[in-house]
Structures are given as structure tokens and as C-alpha cells.
């Protein structure tokens, strides 16, 4: 690995980060705040960056592995140094909390330790939301746009920095591609800022919310987020730009070249817009009674759907108060927004719709879900009658009575008439009662070692058939273990499934041992080939 070249690139990144900190420093000066915290951070960051940049490399080339290391080290260094202004300004006195906030911003995650944004300094708030904007496109893409670098190095860094399975070039030169992407990024940010100002926001708030929208991070200058402004105009503007920033930027380049039809025919874009339209309309119908009509329902539905599917995270309404279907669909959109839509969305939507219908429409399934979520309440209704929650609650009683060391092997009391099927589906609860937490943990460790060993055997199999066979048999046992323990501990709704090698049943044991024999045969063949 070319460590000197890696150090040079990381040094360039830190120098650019230092330069970008000039903007929050200017904001601090404008609002009569001390620029010293940013001056100190700029000096430290820029100094370290210059030292690393000046190190001469024997070779200018880097490999794909070098590219991934450059990206990883750059983000770590930026986060560590980017947290300093929060500490020096007093906005987030604890460095660990400040580091968390910085990482959240640069990765556009949007999680925050700040409970009262209004109490932050203007400079600190600017830097907090500016990290969203920096992370949205990636600072290494910015490096490629402004600093000359060979095509080989540029492509490896681009592939490591930009998410997704493939990275394409808009034009033959990587630097020009990066420049085009950033110009589009800046242009959309400025347009949103102007439109938000027209809606009554101050320039400061408009710019910072544009940063958060562009980076799809969702942090706000207000504790109530966008809901603070209570403006349909602002909701629509921010919602539209969340869609625009969530779309593929290469489509905008096609539009600039006049290939509008080609851009609109893009399969990814069609799926993206289609899912948004479907979710907005169905949720609006579902929540119309909460907001006095379809018009207001469409407003809130549109904003929340675009916020969640773009992974931005702005809020204008408490959707925890919405009906079950709306909450379910929003949760589903969280996963859809983070995947390649054309591969998964149809299957996910169809499967999720079927699950939703079974859970919330069929009476029997509703009862099972109710027992799962509220076992003690269902149990208390008629405990003497041994209602639907009896088995689940008795299982929890059995596990709890074991304590740390257990009652001793064979000394379970719950298995006598209290816990149904203690020899089959709920034998793990008896294990917890007799052997305690330590004994149960050791058994789980043994299962984990068994599964790990099965995967190792599969990876070292002599051929693809042996590998698939070993991993399939091992996975089947692992999944069965997880499901059984999840049922016993009420981590999922009750369903009948045995615990491998523990539950009563001769046929089951024979089949499990046969599976292990096949896995061992694959392992033996692997050893023979190596020898």
C-alpha cells in the first residue's frame, strides 16, 4: 500500500475542511460571536493537513484498497477535528458528545444529542448543519473537483466514496464529473434557499435548512423541526427538494444536455416517484379524519413520505398518532429509501401488504399480535381459564425463576403442569430455570460456535455444491435456534418450532444428526483436497 500517497490525500482533505470552517467563523462574526473557537480549530486542522500534504510519495499511483483506506481515514480525521468547535464554543462541552454530533452530521445520519437547538451559538449551529451539506456529496468528491489528481487515483477514490454498487462517469474525466456534481449540488441548495426566504424564513434559517435538505440529514435550527414554521408553502418547498436531492444527480446532467425524455424514462426515477405517489395518496386517505379533510392530509402525508423515503428526517407532524396502516407504511419506506428500488421494492411492498392484511384484518392474527405485545394484560383477563397468553407468560415466569445460577439440573418446578410443552417447543425456558443465565448463555455460545464452524466449512468446501450444501444445512439449524429462542422469550409471536438437539423427538434428532454428518463429509473432502 502507498501510505505516503494516502497521507497526502488525507492531508488535502483536512486542508479543505479547515477552509470550509471559515464559513461558520464568518457567521459567528456576523452575529457578534467570538471567532476564536473556529480560528483555533482551523489552525490545528490546517496545520496537520499541510504537514501530511507535504510528505513526498515515491509513487503517485494507488490501488482500490488504497482508495478505501483514504476514504475511511479521511472521515475519521474529519470527525475527530470537526468536533473541536462544538467544545470550544460551549455548545456541546463533552467531546464525546461533540464527536457523535459531528459524525452524525458528516454521515448525514441526523441523530443528535442537542435537545435545544435554539440555545446554540449561531456559528456552532452553522457548523452543525453545514456538516450535513459537506457529507451529503462527500468531501472527497469535492477534493476531486478542486484539486488536480491523476485519473487512476481519482477513480479509486470515487468508487470508495460514492455509495452504491456502481459508479459511473458523466464525462470522460473524473475531475470534471466531480465538478459537475458539485455545481448541481450548490445550484439546488441556493435555489431552495431563495424559495425558503420567499416563504418567510430568515436568510440564516433558510440557508441552514437547505444544507440539511441537501445532505438528507434532517437536523434543524428548531426543536420542532420544520413544523415550527407551520407553513404549507415551506412544507411543499422542502418536500419537493427532498425529492430532488434524493434522486440520482446524473439525471440532472442529462436534463441540462437536453435529454429530458431519457432522464424521465429512467427506471429508478419512475420507481422512486411512483412509490412516493402511492404512499402519499394512501396515507392521506387514511389520516384525512385527523386533519379535517383530504387537503391538509395530503400536505402532511406528502411531507412525511418525502422526508422518510429520502432518509432526511424532517418532521411536521407526530405520526405516532396516525393510524396503524400509515405508521406501517412509513416504517416500510425507511427501508425502501435506503436500498436499490428496482430490485427490492415490488417484492417488499407485496410481501408487506400481505403481512399487514394478515395482522390487521384477520381476527385470529390480531389476537396473536395482541398476546405478543401485551402478554400480561391478556393473561390477567382470565388467568384461571388458561387463555391465549398462558404459555407465553408461563415461559417468562420460568425463565425469570432461574436467576443467575438456576435451580439445579432436573429441579424445574414450572415444567410440572404450569408450562405447556416443556419437553418440546419451550424446553429452552426449562433450561434457563434449571441452569440459570450462565448455563443458558453457555448453550447459546455452543450454538454460535456450531454455526460459525459450519460457515467456515462452507467457505473452505472443495466445490460450489459442497459450499451451498454446508451453508444451507448450517443456516437451517441457526434460523431454527433463533426462532425457538425468540418465541420462548416473547421476542416474536408464539409459533411451534423445536430447539435443535434439545427438544423431544427421535425423528427430529436423527435428521439433525444426518445434517451434521453431511456437513462433516463436506469438511472431510475439503481436508483431503488440501492434503
Per-residue pLDDT tens over the stretch 391-406: 888 888 889 888 888 8
Mean pLDDT of all residues in 468-481:
92
pLDDT at 174: 55
Q: Are the C-beta atoms of residues 233 and 199 closer than 8 Å to each other? A: yes
Mean pLDDT of all residues in 316-336:
80
| Structure-model confidence comparison of residues 21 and 420, the more confident one | 21
Handedness of CA 270, 274, 276, 277 (dihedral sign): positive
Task: Report CA-CA distances (Å) from 524 to 359, 477, 478, 518, 527.
Answer: 46, 20, 22, 10, 5
| Structure-model confidence comparison of residues 192 and 274, the more confident one | 192
Question: What count of Cα atoms within 13 Å lies in the side-chain half-sphere of residue 205?
Answer: 19
CB atoms near residue 302 (< 10 Å): 24
- Distance, in Å, from the CA atom of 122 to the CA atom of 204, rounded to the nearest integer, reads 9
- Distance, in Å, from the CA atom of 435 to the CA atom of 502, rounded to the nearest integer, reads 14
Lowest mean pLDDT of 51-60, 104-113, 125-134, 258-267, name the range. 51-60
Q: Is 182 helix (H, G, I), strand (E, B) or coil?
A: helix
**Which band of pLDDT confidence, cut at 50, 70 and 90, is reported for residue 385?**
low
**Mean pLDDT score across all residues of the chain:** 82
| Structure-model confidence comparison of residues 369 and 529, the more confident one | 369
Q: Are the C-beta atoms of residues 426 and 390 closer than 8 Å to each other? A: no
Mean pLDDT of all residues in 246-251:
77
Q: Are the C-beta atoms of residues 14 and 44 closer than 8 Å to each other? A: no
Given a cut of 90, whether residue 204 has pLDDT beyond it is yes
Give the three cell numbers for residue 14. Answer: 483536512
- Distance, in Å, from the CA atom of 279 to the CA atom of 348, rounded to the nearest integer, reads 14
Q: Is 407 helix (H, G, I), strand (E, B) or coil?
A: coil
pLDDT at 141: 64
pTM, full prediction: 0.63
Mean pLDDT of all residues in 341-354:
58
Q: Is 491 helix (H, G, I), strand (E, B) or coil?
A: coil
pLDDT at 198: 94
Mean pLDDT of all residues in 247-266:
78
Give the three cell numbers for residue 155. Answer: 477513480
- Distance, in Å, from the CA atom of 510 to the CA atom of 135, rounded to the nearest integer, reads 55
pLDDT > 90 in the chain, percent? 36
For the chain, give me the number of helices (H) and strands (E)? 24, 0
pLDDT at 352: 62
**Which band of pLDDT confidence, cut at 50, 70 and 90, is reported for residue 327?**
confident
pLDDT at 70: 78
- Distance, in Å, from the CA atom of 263 to the CA atom of 245, rounded to the nearest integer, reads 15
Q: Taking each helix axis from N to C terminus, what angle separates 22-30 and 3-20, rounded to the nearest 10 degrees? A: 20
Mean pLDDT of all residues in 368-396:
75
Q: Are the C-beta atoms of residues 189 and 181 closer than 8 Å to each other? A: no
pLDDT at 165: 39
Amino acid at each position: 500500500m502507498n501510505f505516503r500517497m494516502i497521507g497526502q490525500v488525507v492531508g488535502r482533505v483536512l486542508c479543505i475542511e479547515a477552509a470550509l470552517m471559515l464559513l461558520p467563523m464568518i457567521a459567528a462574526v456576523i452575529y457578534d460571536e467570538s471567532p476564536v473557537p473556529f480560528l483555533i480549530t482551523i489552525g490545528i486542522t490546517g496545520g496537520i493537513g499541510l504537514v501530511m500534504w507535504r510528505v513526498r510519495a515515491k509513487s503517485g499511483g494507488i490501488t482500490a484498497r488504497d482508495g478505501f483506506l483514504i476514504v475511511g481515514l479521511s472521515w475519521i480525521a474529519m470527525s475527530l477535528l470537526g468536533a473541536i468547535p462544538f467544545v470550544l464554543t460551549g455548545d456541546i462541552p463533552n467531546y464525546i458528545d461533540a464527536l457523535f454530533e459531528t459524525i452524525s452530521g458528516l454521515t448525514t445520519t441526523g441523530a443528535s444529542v442537542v435537545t435545544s437547538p435554539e440555545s446554540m451559538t449561531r456559528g456552532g449551529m452553522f457548523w452543525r448543519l453545514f456538516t450535513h451539506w459537506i457529507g451529503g456529496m462527500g468531501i472527497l468528491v469535492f477534493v476531486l473537483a478542486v484539486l488536480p489528481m491523476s485519473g487512476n487515483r481519482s477513480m479509486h477514490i470515487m468508487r470508495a466514496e460514492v455509495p452504491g454498487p456502481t459508479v459511473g462517469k458523466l464525462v470522460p474525466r473524473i475531475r470534471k464529473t466531480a465538478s459537475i456534481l458539485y455545481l448541481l449540488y450548490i445550484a439546488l441548495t441556493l435555489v431552495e434557499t431563495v424559495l425558503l426566504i420567499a416563504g418567510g424564513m430568515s436568510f440564516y434559517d433558510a440557508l441552514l435548512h437547505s444544507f440539511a435538505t441537501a445532505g438528507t440529514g434532517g437536523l434543524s435550527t428548531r426543536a420542532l423541526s420544520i413544523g415550527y414554521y407551520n407553513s404549507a408553502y415551506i412544507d411543499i418547498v422542502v418536500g419537493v427538494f427532498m425529492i430532488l436531492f434524493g434522486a440520482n444527480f446524473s439525471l440532472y446532467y442529462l436534463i441540462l444536455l437536453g435529454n429530458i425524455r431519457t432522464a424521465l424514462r429512467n427506471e429508478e426515477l419512475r420507481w422512486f416517484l411512483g412509490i412516493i405517489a402511492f404512499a402519499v395518496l394512501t396515507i392521506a386517505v387514511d389520516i384525512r379524519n385527523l386533519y379535517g379533510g383530504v387537503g391538509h392530509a395530503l400536505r402532511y402525508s406528502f411531507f412525511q413520505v418525502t422526508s422518510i423515503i429520502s432518509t432526511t428526517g424532517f418532521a411536521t407532524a407526530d405520526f405516532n398518532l396516525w393510524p396503524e396502516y400509515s405508521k406501517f407504511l412509513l416504517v416500510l419506506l425507511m427501508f425502501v429509501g435506503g436500498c436499490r428500488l428496482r430490485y427490492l421494492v415490488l417484492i417488499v411492498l407485496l410481501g408487506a401488504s400481505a403481512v399487514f392484511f394478515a395482522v390487521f384484518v384477520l381476527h385470529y392474527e390480531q389476537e396473536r399480535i395482541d398476546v405478543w405485545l401485551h402478554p400480561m394484560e391478556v393473561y390477567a383477563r382470565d388467568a384461571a381459564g388458561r387463555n391465549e397468553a398462558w404459555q407465553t407468560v408461563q415461559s417468562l415466569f420460568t425463565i425469570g425463576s432461574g436467576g443467575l445460577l438456576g435451580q439445579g439440573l432436573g429441579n424445574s418446578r414450572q415444567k410440572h403442569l404450569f408450562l405447556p410443552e416443556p419437553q418440546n417447543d419451550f424446553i429452552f425456558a426449562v433450561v434457563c430455570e434449571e441452569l440459570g443465565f450462565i448455563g443458558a448463555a453457555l448453550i447459546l455460545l455452543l450454538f454460535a460456535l456450531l454455526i460459525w464452524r459450519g460457515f467456515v466449512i462452507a467457505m473452505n468446501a472443495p466445490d460450489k455444491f459442497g459450499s451451498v450444501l454446508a451453508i444451507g444445512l448450517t443456516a437451517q439449524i441457526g434460523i431454527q435456534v433463533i426462532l425457538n429462542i425468540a418465541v420462548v422469550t416473547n421476542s416474536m409471536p408464539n409459533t411451534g418450532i423445536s430447539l435443535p438437539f434439545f427438544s423431544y423427538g427421535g425423528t427430529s434428532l436423527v435428521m439433525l444428526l444426518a445434517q451434521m454428518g453431511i456437513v462433516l463429509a463436506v469438511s472431510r473432502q475439503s481436508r483431503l483436497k488440501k492434503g
